[in-house]
Chain A
Amino acid sequence: MSATPAWASVPLSEFQLAVLMFCLGGLVTLVTVVMILRGHRHWRHRDPFDRSA
């Protein structure tokens, strides 16, 4: 591993960093799932080339 740059040297304990990443990962996954399901519902019974959509 390379030396840690200043921007990555956040004053967090290992556990706090892990909880932060866990929450961020859950949020990104949730937002992605919502985006896909919205898109799927939107196109489900439409013409796949509908210009108004």
Chain B
Amino acid sequence: MNSSPLLDPGIAWFLLVAFSVLWIALGIWWGRRGGSSADDYLLAGRNIGLALSTATLMASWVTGNTTLAAPEVGYTLGLWGMFGYALAGLGLLLFAPLAIRIKRVMPHARTSGDFVRMRYGRLTWAVFLVITLVYTAGFLITQGMGAGLLLQSLSGFDYRVGMLLVIGVSTVYTLFGGMKAVVGTDFIQSMLIMVLLAVVAVLGYSRFGTGAIYAQLAENHPSRLNLLLPAGLLFAWNTGLFSMGEVFHNNIWWSRVFASRESVVFRSFILGGVAWVTVPIVTGSIALMALARDLPIPQVNMVFPLMTARLLGSAGAMMVFIIIFASLTSTLDSLLASTADLLAEDVYLKMLRPQATDEQVRRAARRIVVLLGGVTVLLSWSYITSMYQLLLFTGALVASTIWPIAYGLYWKSASRHGAVVAMVSGSAVGLAAYVWIAPYCAALLSAAVSAVVMAVWTHLAPEDFDWRRLAHH
């Protein structure tokens, strides 16, 4: 892709080895400190405090997509791209009230699948599992591809070498340390991301000046400042609804609820959401800087690394390497741990081996972590499409779960038949919109149809659900 790497391969190898050794060593250390039950491995003993809980939420939500795709939409859509992407913070912020309800009504549960199965029955649970597994596969692919692209663009590594290394490191420390390792490394990774992003933004804007950048954009790229840009208007709310679908249904976030203390769970989602919003705004604004400076960008989703490296030289390339490496590993470890948790609980224990002991569930979860790491490598083997386009495809599915999840947590009248029809019809309409209208409307139309179906069906055929059934896990 680039004839001359932005970061010397020797420095890149040093950073890669140093951080890989650090993450793996910490993972093994934290894994040995914990207890030996499945709850210790999968949910860190259900005892995470405010600082760790906030940091792990923020780090897990700062994905390779936030650092690579948010600047991409900032570059292509301008202000709406930047602020529209920041609306994805709504997912974490609005999950805060749901999280406290989950913690109180399901104190012993382990996964989001537990809720759907107990609240709506096995048919809805099966549809839900299909949606969440397709989404997880898409999410894992984007992180694997992001890893390969990062090392290729910055240091000239072969795409597959970079991808294998990042997935391998994440898999190893998640395997040994479980959720404790994930949360601990997330804390360090979130600190690195926030501090280095602030440094990059301050150095960049102090060098070129905000006024000069605005003037150049207004003169050469006025559409990027146009708040009535059609593509921007289409994009704006889609991201917020997509993020709600991602967070409300996915076990990454449910496992954080079960793993955190009840006294901190509400505040940690609010604080994590607020901290996260700054990341797409900073990376998006750096992409606007690249546009204003007319920097040649051979591949649009690499605009942030390329701009930072060109602006700040090898120090900038090192910073962006660390930021994206931390973003990718913090998201991959969360995905691996929470998906292993979901599959061990919902598939292995509930479908295949209902009599399995706690130790067998723990061993199954560890095997699933390794299996998922291997599957991620296979799925990411070839660079197939724009990362964000792929993620928007999964948005059509996950946005259909917003209302069935939230409505079902608060209203006993929420209908199980309504929930399954809402998920199926919302997904179908979202996919049709993705193909025939625009990828940016997929999540929006999926959420709209699902909400109407859920509300109308519940109004016409209300249930009388007994909340105590959720507590009997």
Contacts and interface: CB of A to CB of B under 8 A. Distances in A.
B288 interface: no
A28 B436 contact: no
Contacts of A32: 94, 241, 244, 402-403, 406, 447, 451
Contacts of B241: 25, 28-29, 32
A29 B471 contact: no
Secondary structure at chain A's binding surface: helix, strand, loop or mixed? helix
Contacts of B228: 15
B387 to A, nearest CB: 19
Interface string A9-30: 0000011011101101110110
A51 to B, nearest CB: 7
Q: Which of A24, A36, A53 has the most CB of B within 10 A?
A: A36
Contact of B230 (A15, A26, A49): A15
A24 B230 contact: no
Contacts of A36: 94, 97-98, 406, 410
A31 B132 CA distance: 24
Contacts of A4: 436
Interface stretch (B178-186, B232-240, B303-311): B232-240
Report, as a range, how many residues of chain A touch the other chain. 20 to 34
A37 B97 contact: yes
Interface of B: 90, 94, 97-98, 100-101, 104-105, 228, 230-234, 236-238, 240-241, 244, 402-403, 406-407, 409-412, 432, 435-437, 440-441, 444-445, 447-448, 451, 466-468, 471
Contacts of A19: 233
Contact of A24 (B232, B240, B444): B444
Which 5 pairs from chain A and chain B are nearest by CB?
A25-B237, A39-B410, A40-B97, A18-B230, A18-B233
Nearest to B440: A21
A21 B445 CA distance: 9
A25 B435 CA distance: 18
Given A24-B444, A29-B241, A36-B98, 15 more contacts: A15-B228, A17-B437, A18-B232, A22-B236, A25-B237, A28-B241, A28-B444, A32-B94, A32-B241, A35-B407, A39-B101, A43-B104, A49-B467, A51-B412, A51-B467
